[in-house]
Each structure stands twice: as C-alpha cells, then as structure tokens.
Chain A
C-alpha cells in the first residue's frame, strides 16, 4: 500500500515537473493566439531563453540574472515576431518557423564560440540553479509555483479585465476594436510580449531547474506540445492546463514504462506514448473529439482601411 502511495506521489510530482514548462508556454501562447497572432515560435523562444539563462547564470553566478537574461532573450524573439507580424504584416507562421530555426542554430553557434563545449553551457552548480523550496523530493522550485499561478492569472487577465476583453475582441474582429478607437497593433504587441515573458520563464526552468545547464535542442518539441495543449484546451486557460498535465503525465509514465510489460497489453512502445500528445491533438483537429475553434482573426494581418 505504502509502495503504491509512494509511486503515485512520485508520478504526480514528476508530472508537475514535466508539465511546468508546458504550462508556462501554453499560457504565454494563449495571450498571443487570443490576440490573433499565431505563435508556432514558442519552441524557439523557449530554446533561446534556456540558452541565455544558463549562459548568464554560469557567467555571473547569479540565479536572478540568469532568469532575467532568459526573459530578455525570449522578449527579443517576441519583439521580432511582433515587428514581422504586426508592423510589417508578414506571415505569422513563416515568422514563427524562422525564429525556431534561428534559435536552433544561434544557440549552438554562440554556445560553441563562447564555451567551446560543443554547444553546451558549463554545468551549473547548486548555487546557480533554482532549487526546491519545500519538498526536495518533489523538486518544487519557484517556477513550478509560478506555472501553477500563471493559469488563474491568465484566466483572470483574459476573462475579467478590460485588457482581456479587448484582447479577445482583437483576436475575433480587429476592425471593431479599431473602430472603437483602440489600437490593434499596441494590443497585439502587449499580447506578444506577455507571451515572451512566459516563454522566457519556461526556458529558464528547462536549463536552470530541470537540468543543470543548456544542451543543444533541449526543448525537444515541448514548445509544439504546448501549442498542442492550447488547441486541445480549445484556447481556454484551465482546459489547456489540463491538457498540459495529461501530456506531462504521459511523459512521466513513458519513462517508468520503459521495458515494462503491461498486463493484458504487453510492452507498450515508449515512442507511442511520446507521440500520443500529437496523435490526440490530430484526432481533435480532425473533429473526432469535439471541435476546436481558433480565434477568428488568428493568422490574418490587420491593415487599416485608410
């Protein structure tokens, strides 16, 4: 009995640990997508943040400088996305893909040039990492709590504030918002920058809490899983949070199921469990599990009539 309890507790803790960057990313992505700016560049923002967070933490020895650098790096990427998509009305998907590829290359190029460790940053010591606060076993660092708080915050900001009301309007019908005398561009910039803030925290979590340092491509598709979670949650904060937890649980279980034979099923391929978030999202998108409707103006650059 006690064994089962330990197993359940550990799996839940692992779920939360794996889900933290997904939750942060998904909440950031929600702000962006709700405002009508598609963000397939979550992955790149997170990767860039992870690199600059670890690099700065290792160079300065300061945790907060590291987290700050991660946020700044993600914000620079977010700003680039904003300039391309809002100011120059470029294609949002093209911009996001560009930033992903740029991040994948630039982190390794700069990492190799600065640290000469094949793209990795020097390993971070305990004083340079985000350490557990209450339960060392659960590794509950401050960003885990930040992720948990980000969900009600996002819900409140989108559903209960004047900013959120306008944000939703600008994602559905920017013309109406413009007509009411509110700047479409400025609203969208704020949404994109909020997205950068959360993605920055997610990146810092990856390289300074979950791992001790940056390694190349360490995001490994988590930005896209966060995107899948947004879709799975039908662009609502709490359901998206739920999707992140499910995807996190799948990941935590996948590690434990490696090489284990499940009674009645046999050995479940780890790759199948890893692909499940994508497969589930595809089933949802195909309309087999309810219907996911994106904000109406998502992906369409807004141009003033005159």
Chain B
C-alpha cells in the first residue's frame, strides 16, 4: 500500500476510522461528483439510480450479467492489488489480458480437434496465465535488472500488445475469406459451461446470461491471493518488499526475484479476463476484448483497499454499474454507458490520488469527540 499511504507518519486516525470511515468518505465524494455530472446533463439523479438498480439487479438475467462483468473486475482488481502489495504499480493489465487472450486462443486453436473438453479448457486457462505472466515479466525484468520505471514500461507494453494483436488478428489468425479481424471460432469443446447450465444440473432455474464458470475461477483466485499474501512466507516477503524494500533485503529477500514473481502473478491474474471473455462468451479471439478492464482494475483495487475481500465487493459494485449503466442508456438516451468510465476515473481520483483529502475533516471530527 506504499502507493497510497504517505511516506511520513501523519497524525494517526483511530483504526476504525482509517479502515472503514475514510474509504467510505472517499467513495461518497466520488459519487457526489457523479451526481453533479448527472445533474448537469439534465437527468433526474434519483430516477437514474432507480433504473440503474433495476437494470443491475432486477431479474436473474440482470444479476447474471452483473456477475459476468464483476468477474473481469475481480481478475484485474486482484492483478493490480498483488503488484500494489509488492510496491509496484502495474498499469499493464490491459495488455497482459490481451496477450493472455492470445495464449488462451492459440492453445484452443491448436488442440481443439484432439483434446476432450475439460483437458482443453485447463490447457487454455494455463496458456492464458502463462502468456499474461510472460507479458508482465518483460517490464518486471526491465525494472529489476535495468532500473526502468515499471509504470512507463507497462504503459508502453499496452500499446505494443494492441499493435501486435491487430497485426496477428488481421494478417495471421484471420481465416481465409473472412473480412473481420478475428480468429476462427473455437470448437464446442472449448466453451466454459454457462452458469445457467451448471445451476440447471443441480435443479436451479435461472435466465440465460453471459455468466459462466469463470466467475467461480475469479472467486477462487481471490481466495488464493488472500492465502498467498497472508498465509505463505513468499507472500510475507512480497508484502515486506512493498512496505520497506531495505528491510526486505536485510531479511534475505531477493528483490529482483520477488519483483518478477509479483509481476508474473499480476499478469497471470489479468489474463483471467481472457478466460471469461474468450472461453466464456466470444468463443474466438476478438479485437479489443479487454475493453478498459485492465485500467478499471486500478479503481477496483483502490476501492477494495487491495484486499481480496474488498476487491470482490468493489468488483460487484462496478459490475452492477456496468450492467445497470447499459440498461440505463437504453432508457435514457442522454446517458451513455461511458458514465461508468467517468465513475471509474472519479473513484481512482478520490480513493487514490486524493485519498488524504478528507483526513483533516475527520481528524477535526474525531479529535473533538475524544
């Protein structure tokens, strides 16, 4: 958390204010500004909120889509958070998810005629993670061995990934005779089962949606990240490096190797977006499927205070906003889906860069009472 917390000791706030109240005030400020913007557009904020809630949670189909979007946010939120804990700022989630999709897709395209479903999907998920990790490993290597700033290099790698994928999809992977820049469709065996089908098999009927088993994988990843960070010695070393690199060195941690580990895990987690989108929904490699989820992960991680549990909560909120916002834009044409992007930006601003803004107010409040 060294990215958010100030370097010097400030007048401390009581623990519960620091952990619960301050983040809530930050989020509230962000949404206050959202309300002002909605008002400027000339839309009734409360009606918009009502439509948004109904759109996000009003039916089992709506909830399905909310959870499907949340899946992507969980993956990228975890990816940003695990790097945060190591004191690294990975802005490359977008590119890592994109290249992860390449690995995932190549594995399926190469083997979907030979392997049975479960094995094929396992292979595709592993390939996605490996490619995502590899794309993060280069900036990590540049940071650890050559001293280049990881923020700048991961930004550049996003653009390189995008150019590479456009080239591959329009020149190499595009089937002959097809005009659109995308790969051939995956075989049926490579489809992740939809949540509807899974629930039906245990006797629960829900409306069909894009929600698929990747959601379960995302929740598992969240648990795994928690166990790794707080219950293993590697996780401990990683967090030590994030808090105080010098202390970590004295404790015998190899900072270079730990940087590589943190970034590779981060890239592998970001590649979860590819699993959800390609194996779950598109069933082929498509252009621009990361669609800003990599950047949104920064908002999710900041809002969730880099804790897996907080990240899942924040991801559910962003999933609901995404789904509700889409429905809202059908009802009120003046409100576009990009409102969600505005909210992401404001959350990053208020929960990240301006995180200390309400601190003096809270100090005055708490100080008066004690």
Contact = CB atoms under 8 A, between A and B. Distances in A.
| A and B: interacting chains | yes
Given A113-B41, A275-B160, A97 B166 contact: no
Interface stretch (B128-136, B238-246, B251-259, B340-348): B340-348
A275 B164 contact: yes
Interface string B182-219: 00000000000000000000000000000000000000
A271 B164 contact: yes
A224 interface: yes
B89 interface: yes
Interface stretch (B110-118, B141-149, B271-279, B362-370): B141-149
Contacts of A85: 353
Given A90-B356, A97-B348, A271-B163, A285 B153 contact: yes
B345 A285 contact: no
A101 interface: yes
B354 interface: yes
A102 B142 CA distance: 30
B349 A84 contact: yes
A106 B155 contact: no
Contacts of A231: 152
Nearest to B334: A113
A175 interface: no
A105 B157 CA distance: 23
A90 B353 contact: yes
Contacts of A282: 142, 148, 153, 156-157, 160
B142 A275 contact: no
B348 A98 contact: yes
Interface string A90-131: 111111011111111110111011001001000000000000
B291 to A, nearest CB: 12
Interface string A145-189: 000000000000000000000000000000000000000000000
A99 B349 contact: yes
A84 B352 CA distance: 9
Contacts of B230: none
Does more than half of chain A's interface fall in helix, strand or loop, or is it mixed? helix
Contact of A112 (B167, B299, B336): B336
A101 B344 contact: yes
B4 interface: yes
A91 B149 CA distance: 15
Given A84-B353, A269-B167, A94 B341 contact: no
B3 A91 contact: yes
A285 B334 contact: no
Indicate the member of B89, B153, B343, B349 with the most A CB atoms within 10 Å.
B349
B345 A224 contact: no
Contacts of A227: 152, 155
Contacts, number: 163
A272 interface: yes
B299 to A, nearest CB: 8
B37 A93 contact: no
A112 B334 contact: yes
Interface string B298-314: 11001000000000000
Indicate the member of A85, A94, A272, A279 with the most B CB atoms within 10 Å.
A94
Contacts of A274: 163
A212 B355 CA distance: 39
A218 B348 CA distance: 23
B11 interface: no
Given A90-B355, A104-B341, A119-B338, A109 B37 contact: yes
A22 to B, nearest CB: 14
B70 interface: no
A108 B164 contact: no
Contact of B342 (A80, A106, A301): A106
B352 A90 contact: yes
A256 interface: no
A12 B156 CA distance: 26
A26 to B, nearest CB: 14
B344 A109 contact: no
Interface residues of A, number: 52
Given A108-B336, A271-B164, A98 B148 contact: no
B232 interface: no
A257 to B, nearest CB: 14
Nearest to A224: B155
Nearest to A85: B353
B69 interface: no
A281 interface: yes
B177 interface: no
A105 B142 contact: no
Given A113-B41, A227-B152, A286-B142, A95 B159 contact: no
B8 interface: yes
A269 B170 CA distance: 11
B204 to A, nearest CB: 37
B42 interface: yes
A101 B341 contact: yes
Given A109-B37, A303-B7, A116 B333 contact: yes
A231 B148 CA distance: 11
A40 interface: yes
Contacts of A83: 354
B180 interface: no
Nearest to B33: A102
Contacts of A40: 151, 155
B91 interface: yes
A136 interface: no
Given A98-B352, A105-B344, A106-B342, 16 more contacts: A88-B355, A91-B353, A94-B352, A95-B352, A97-B91, A101-B345, A105-B345, A108-B338, A109-B335, A112-B338, A113-B41, A227-B155, A231-B152, A271-B164, A281-B156, A303-B8
Q: Which 3 A-B pairs have the closest CB atoms?
A: A102-B345, A105-B341, A95-B353
17 contacts: A90-B352, A91-B4, A92-B353, A94-B3, A97-B91, A97-B348, A101-B296, A104-B345, A105-B338, A106-B37, A108-B336, A109-B336, A112-B338, A275-B163, A282-B160, A285-B149, A300-B7
